[in-house]
Amino acid sequence: MRKEDTGAGHNPHHHSHSHKSCVSLVPIFNHLEEEQMNEITKTIHSINYKKSETVYHAGEQSDSLFIVNKGKIRVYRLSESGKEQLVRILMPGDFTGELALFTETTYVSFAEAMVETSVCRIKRTDFQNLLLQYPTISLKVLTEFSKRLAQSEKQSMRFATEKVETRIALFLAECFDSENQTDTIELPMSKKDLASYLGTTPETISRKFTELEAQGLIEQKTHKLIKVLDLDGLLLN
Amino acid sequence: MRKEDTGAGHNPHHHSHSHKSCVSLVPIFNHLEEEQMNEITKTIHSINYKKSETVYHAGEQSDSLFIVNKGKIRVYRLSESGKEQLVRILMPGDFTGELALFTETTYVSFAEAMVETSVCRIKRTDFQNLLLQYPTISLKVLTEFSKRLAQSEKQSMRFATEKVETRIALFLAECFDSENQTDTIELPMSKKDLASYLGTTPETISRKFTELEAQGLIEQKTHKLIKVLDLDGLLLN
DNA sequence: CGGGGAGTTGATGTCACTCAATTGGGGTGG
DNA sequence: CCACCCCAATTGAGTGACATCAACTCCCCG
């Protein structure tokens, strides 16, 4: 456990001067001056994970923020009754562990590398010092927090008020919006994970996709590739 | 609309020197020095609302943070398909409008006074200046954000993975925890609102309460007062 | 005292989960 | 490079949880 503390098995082969590229990749910091960057660079550690390795797990003592540099991380939770829910998938530039920094003393979710992944790790105290020293970073982080909060509340409301079919349609519509060059979207996760993310089962996902296809709203090119034929039709449901 | 801009109908009878009590009530600020307090006091406006008056509504141009000074505010949303969900109830010291400050330019939720209510209003630019000037406030706000995020993600996960009965039981358990002097809890809202908050219907709430009572887990003293007879029983469900 | 909304109770319908069997596809080792 | 294997994905049948609709009661407040 907590392999990242020792670095064992993760090839933490970065040397401190090679952190720079990591820091500059992070949206939270990318408005800063060279000199400030260098200071920050001193406080972070770069860690690599192989596919399906654990970044952290619920219950573990938490004292760090993780920022994805390269790769993908799957963040999920276990509910009171033991069922798993996919919370989000982190792409480069995204961060996790933020609750750890301010409220909780242990992680409440699980994070696992989906592919070969490299992250920057910043300790709680170092990060808090950065915030006090560079107030503009706080604004960036606050902005990021508020985005995430908005996202979470939206998701929450959909669970509370929309049926599965609508949640799926809304999800597809959002994927469509972010892939603004083409009408074919690539699902960012397996249908199993999608089911977990949308609070349903793989069976239901499968059936609803077939229904949407029968209605002429989408076309399933492959398991991962979906062509959207009628966006409005999806939404006015 | 936007009555708070003019103050019409809200008796904004506070004078600037009387804001102080308002500011000192706000957890975000209550670690500051007298002098800093006074500076903040200049930037805020106090507004009163009568029962069921609108504080803001979705779609309205947003440029302010609202902090509850006295009273209760009901925050709710309308989903894509037009159904209402109760997001939270603000008590003194709580704030809302935060998304407005960082991400959205319009409010996404509705806020309405449940009783005679008094709030402090801070404009976006003033608030951002405060954050840059007093980095410790940022930490407070970040902490508050992360709490709310944790709460929202927890709620979201419960919608995704737990059935109605469990969500009710968990809600009761949390009420129980916060009223740590007695085994009788007072529901913080009507059962209608509770249904909306928990993503179900008043009918189901009613039935489940009866079931829980039949199982000997709770006792309904009145519509608002619930005596918890077997907390563990509630939770291990 | 009367009105109206909150709360309750019953009957019915349906959406989506569960369980089970089968197919499909991607990755690994021989 | 191919075959196998495993897990994802699909499809079907049955069930159950919860929403809906409707009728009624209970308070709370004017």
pLDDT tens for each residue of B106-137? 999 999 999 999 999 999 999 999 998 998 99
How far, in Å, CA of B119 to CA of B115, rounded? 12
Reply yes or no on whether the pLDDT at B224 is more than 70: yes
Which amino acid is present at A121? R
At the top level of CATH, the class of B162-236 is mainly alpha
Nearest-angstrom CA–CA distance, B4 and B75: 16
Domain B3-159 shares a fold with domain B162-236: no
Cross-chain residue pair B102–A147, CB shorter than 8 Å: yes
**For chain A, where are the E strands, in sequence order?**
44-49, 54-56, 64-70, 73-78, 84-90, 95-96, 110-113, 117-123, 184-186, 218-220, 225-228
Distance of A164 CA from D3 C1′ (whole Å): 40
Of B84, B149, B155, the CB nearest to A99: B149
Mean pLDDT of chain A: 88
CATH (one of 3.90.550.10, 2.60.120.10, 3.40.50.300, 1.10.10.10) for B3-159:
2.60.120.10
The DSSP 8-state label assigned to residue A97 in this structure reads: -
Task: Please answer yes or no on whether A160 and B80 come within 8 Å at the CB atom.
Answer: no
| A102-148 tens-digit pLDDT | 887 899 999 999 999 999 999 999 999 999 899 899 888 999 999 99
The burial of B24, by beta-carbon neighbours within 10 Å (0-12 exposed, 13-18 middle, 19 or more buried), is given as middle
For residue A180, the 8-state DSSP code is T
- Rounded average pLDDT over B77-91: 95
Q: Do B146 and A99 touch (CB under 8 A)?
A: yes
Question: Domain segments of chain A: what residues?
Answer: 3-159, 162-236
> CA B156 to CA A159: how far, in whole Å?
7
CA dist., res. A203 & res. A48, Å (int): 35
Phi/psi for A88 (5° steps) reads -165, 165
**Strands in B3-161 per DSSP E:** 44-49, 54-56, 64-70, 73-78, 84-90, 95-96, 110-113, 117-123
Whole-number average pLDDT of chain B: 88
Q: Which residues of B touch A155 (CB under 8 A)?
A: 156
Phi-psi map region of A52: left, alpha, beta (phi>0 left; psi -120 to 50 alpha): left
Proximity of residue B203 CB to strand D below 7 A:
yes
Residue B27 has pLDDT above 90, yes or no: no
